[in-house]
Structure 1
C-alpha cells in the first residue's frame, strides 16, 4: 500500500505542470478589470496586496503596460486576489479593494501597492486601509459592512480556489489568454501578447 502510494506520488511529480493545472476561470462581471471587454488579449494577474514583488510590478511595470496595451484597446487586464503572508492582513486588504466602488477598485489597489512598503514597516496601520477607502468612492461604513458580509469572503475563497486550480503557487502570477507566462517584465509580457494581436 505504501509502495503504491509512493509510486503514485512519483508519477504525479513527474507529470508536466501544464497537465496538472487548468486555465484560470473565465472572466466575469465580478472581476476587477481594466480595458475593453472586446480586447483580443486578456491578461490575468493573481496578486496579493502584501506581496513586495506584486507591489514592485504594480508600481514600476503596470503604468507602462497600461499605456502600451490597455489604453490602446489591445489587452483587457484582470486583477485577481491570492492573499499571501501575513494572511489576515492580505485578506482584509483584498476585501477592502473588493468593497470599494467597482470603478474605483484599481485606484484602491494601486494606492495600497504604492504605500505597501511603508505600511509593512509600520506593521500595516489602519491608515493604510483607510487611505484605500478614501479613494474608493464609498463611505467607510459601506465598505465595512461589505467586508463583514459573508458573501465577500465566499467570493474571495472562490478566487483563491480558482488560482489553486490553475496551478498558481506564488504571486504575482500572469496568464495571457489562459497560458501561464513566467517572464513578468514588460518585455516578457509583450513577447506573449504581441503574437496574439490581429
Structure 2
C-alpha cells in the first residue's frame, strides 16, 4: 500500500509543481481620475502625487490657450498618467464672457470639465468673436440685472449659449448653469483666493505651493509656455 501511495504521489508531482500563472498587474492610469478640489478647481491625476501642479487660468487668455495646445497632452502622457504629477486647474476669470464660459465648463462637474475646457480653448477665436457684439447699451443693462441673471444675458447676447448648444450642452442645461448662484459664488471665491496669493495674471503656475517664474527679483517673469514649465516639473521630480 505504501508503495502505491508513493507511486501516485510521484505521478501527481509534475501537475502540482506548475502553479497557475498570474495575470500581470496593469499600471494605474491616473489621467482617468478627475475630482473637484476644496479650493474650487478640478484636479486630474493622483491626489498623492509627489509633484502637485496648479494653474490659474482663463478661458479667454491666449497664453493659456497656447499652453493647453502645446503641453496638456504631453503633461498627461508623460507625468500625470503614471501618478508622479497631479494637475489642478483653477479659474481666474478676467471678464464677463470668460465667467459665462467657465460656468458652462463646470456645468456637469468633474466628468466633463477638462473636455469642455479643451473645447473652449480649441475654439477660442470663434466664441470670443461674439463678445464684440456686446454694445454700450448691453453694458448698461448688465448693471441693473440681478447677479444670477448677468451671465445668462452675456451668453445670449454674445452667442455663447448657441455656440455650446451645437457642442453638447443643451439650452435648458446651459441656462441652469448660467444662473446657478452657488456655482457663481464658487468661481467668485476662487478669484478672491487668487488675489490673496497675489496672482494677478494668467497663466500662473504653482508647483507644490511655490509660484513658478523665470529669473529672480526684479528680473523675474511669469512662465507662459509648456517649454518654460516642463523643466521645472522635471527638477521637482528629482
**TM-score bracket, shorter-length normalisation:** 0.7 to 0.9
Partner of 2:199: 168
Larger radius of gyration: 2
Normalized against structure 2, the TM-score is what?
0.63
Task: Find the aligned partners of 1:110 and 1:101 in 2 and give their Cα distance.
Answer: 15
Counterpart pick for 1:190 among 224, 230, 238 = 230
- 1:94-129 CA-partner distances (Å, limit 9, x unpaired): 111111242110000010000002223344533433
Task: Find the aligned partners of 1:29 and 1:178 in 2 and give their Cα distance.
Answer: 13
* 1:160 CA displacement: 0.2
Q: Does 1:66 align with 2:66?
A: no
Pairwise mapping of residues 1-198 of structure 1 onto structure 2 (< 5 A)? 27-28=37-38, 30-84=40-94, 87-123=95-131, 125-126=159-160, 127-131=162-166, 134=168, 139-182=170-213, 183-197=223-237
SS in 2 for 1:42: strand
SS in 2 for 1:144: helix
Question: Which aligned runs of 4 or more in structure 1 are off by greater than 4 angstroms?
Answer: none
Task: Find the aligned partners of 1:46 and 1:29 in 2 and give their Cα distance.
Answer: 12
* 1:187 CA displacement: 4.0
Task: Find the aligned partners of 1:32 and 1:131 in 2 and give their Cα distance.
Answer: 24
Of structures 1 and 2, the one with the larger relative CO (CA 8 A, separation 6+) is 1
* 1:29 CA displacement: 7.8
The verdict on how the C-alpha distance between 1:186 and 1:57 changes in structure 2, with shifts beyond 3 A counting, is: closer
* 1:196 CA displacement: 2.9
Consecutive unaligned residues of structure 2, counting only runs of 5 or more, are: 1-36, 132-157, 214-222
* Structure 1 vs Structure 2 CA RMSD: 2.1
Moved more, 123-132 or 96-105: 123-132
Task: Find the aligned partners of 2:126 and 2:51 in 1 and give their Cα distance.
Answer: 34
Normalized against structure 1, the TM-score is what?
0.75
Moved more, 30-39 or 105-114: 30-39
Task: Find the aligned partners of 1:176 and 1:57 in 2 and give their Cα distance.
Answer: 16
Consecutive unaligned residues of structure 1, counting only runs of 5 or more, are: 1-26
The verdict on how the C-alpha distance between 1:93 and 1:71 changes in structure 2, with shifts beyond 3 A counting, is: same
Aligned length: 166
Q: Is the 8 A contact 1:115 1:128 kept in 2?
A: no
